[in-house]
Amino acid sequence: MEHLNFQLNPKTIIVFSIFLQFLLISVVNSSISTGQVKASTQHVEFVDSNSILENSYQLIRYQPRHVHISYGETPTEMFITWSTIDSISPSLATVEFGLKSISQYRVTGTSKFFQAPGTMNLTQYIHRVKLENLTMDTTYIYQCGSNVGWSDLFFFSTMESDPNWAPQFAIFGDMGNVNAKSLTRLQREVHLDMYDAIIHVGDFAYDMDTDDGLVGDSFMDQIQSIAAYVPYMTCPGNHESRDNFLHYKGRFTMPGKFDSMLYSWDIGPIHFVSISTEFYYYLQYGIKPLLQQYTFLEKDLEDANKPENRAKRPWIIVYGHRPMYCSNDDEDDCTNQETLLRVGIPFLHWFGLEDLFMQNGVDLVIWAHEHSYERLWPIYNRTVYNGTYEEPYRNPKSLTHVITGSAGCFETHDRFKGDKPDWSAFRTIDYGYSRLKPMNKSHLYFEQVSDDQDGKVIDSFHLIREKHEPYPIPRKMS
């Protein structure tokens, strides 16, 4: 009998193989649906593969994330803060750093358990290390972590010691995880070495507590490309208020003893003061923080005005989230005649800040909250007190205010009322951020960048104070 020479072409083999796989899967799925499979003559119980992973496989998550730095209480200090999902114990939170090698110095710090309230019960560990006695005018490379996991290499530069140094700042508020319009340009400019610090004037992520803190985690990942290289200085906003500002206090490390809610710091010719405007609006957390802040401000501004201190750092700049004034078309407090921040608690008029700032010669106040940019003429009690008609910001007779809350978030813009008040000098709803630079002890430069117009500077002014002294408080009309 003659044998047949039977051959299959490759296409037929592939089709036949797929058919066999489909047949096998059908048989197995049929067996699994009854909770068991049969192999030869033995009975085997079916076990869900997810259960195997959950019961026998533990993820290890020691790698640092959310790395960011901030200035300390003196020009030679720097805080390094980061997070890990798992505890690194018994290892210690550590920063290794140096001029050319990370092996030069090694400093340990603290670790703190952090749990985000919510149904998922998400936990993490926040690690903090304070570097002290740094050399000024120096760039260091560093990594943070522990014996069970290290970060990438980063770098930072310390403050300059030159008394004529003119540091540069990017300033903005209200930047979210979604629609963070200014972030990309800021990332590039930070790596072009344009800034000595970033100042975020409240409202982060929108919100840091959303989805049991996952939105906050994502936001901290986003800003690491900026904040791991340049000090990221902050103040709280209303979007941080949940659980008595738990996420804000837990995630950021600012100088001072008030959980980053209020503090002051010096850089070059500037004395910065960061405040919490939210103490006025969340009295359910107690009136004590408001009293502490007012007492702190009285003492801090008094010290800043001592002749030897004001001669060294003549510029006093305050930043906080909610403005005293604004011309937006909404129902925020700054649209009212008498805002809590400006005149204090209703009827009693306790803890109002406008008079306090006037009496201590504060040069500039920077706000956010409104998703727009607005520059005001020098103003007191809703009345303009310019220096002169030709040069309104030369030796002004009252406080100068700027609102910069347009860095971008999912809430988009806050539009303005149709008629611009006499005290409003310039306003726009373009997405963007501000830049500030003290030119010398008497001239300070401020500008606004538009992200809608590809980085164009759309507003700028020079604030000139030839004498940094208290403003005379005009007599209020009855």
Question: What is the DSSP secondary-structure string of 246-286?
Answer: HHHHHH---SSSSTTSSEEEEETTEEEEE--GGGGT-GGG-
Nearest Cα to Cα of residue 44 among 34, 53, 52:
34
d(CA 214, CA 226) in angstroms, rounded, equals: 20
User: Over the stretch 394-422, which tens digit does the pLDDT of each residue have?
Assistant: 999 999 999 999 999 999 889 998 899 99
Q: Report the amino acid identity of residue 301.
A: L
Cα torsion angle, 399, 403, 404, 405, sign: positive
User: Over the stretch 251-294, which tens digit does the pLDDT of each residue have?
Assistant: 999 999 999 999 999 999 999 999 999 999 999 999 999 999 99
Q: What is the mean pLDDT of residues 151-155?
A: 98
Residue 392 gets the label, from left (phi > 0), alpha (psi -120 to 50) or beta, of alpha
Query: pLDDT-based confidence at 475, cuts 50/70/90?
Result: confident
Nearest Cα to Cα of residue 131 among 82, 94, 100, 99:
94
Question: What is the DSSP secondary-structure string of 417-464?
Answer: PSSPPTTEEEEE---EEEEEEE-SSSEEEEEEEETTTTTEEEEEEEEE
- Give the global pTM: 0.87
441: tokens are 């002890």
Query: pLDDT-based confidence at 37, cuts 50/70/90?
Result: very low
User: Over the stretch 171-199, which tens digit does the pLDDT of each residue have?
Assistant: 999 999 999 999 999 999 999 999 999 99
Nearest Cα to Cα of residue 200 among 413, 476, 420, 409:
409
Res. 62: pLDDT tops 50: yes
Nearest Cα to Cα of residue 293 among 259, 254, 261, 338:
261
Q: Which is higher by pLDDT, 76 or 58? A: 76
Q: What is the mean pLDDT of residues 326-341?
A: 90
Contact present, 140 and 150 (Cβ < 8 Å): no
Contact present, 301 and 292 (Cβ < 8 Å): no
Res. 11: pLDDT tops 90: no
pLDDT of residue 386: 96
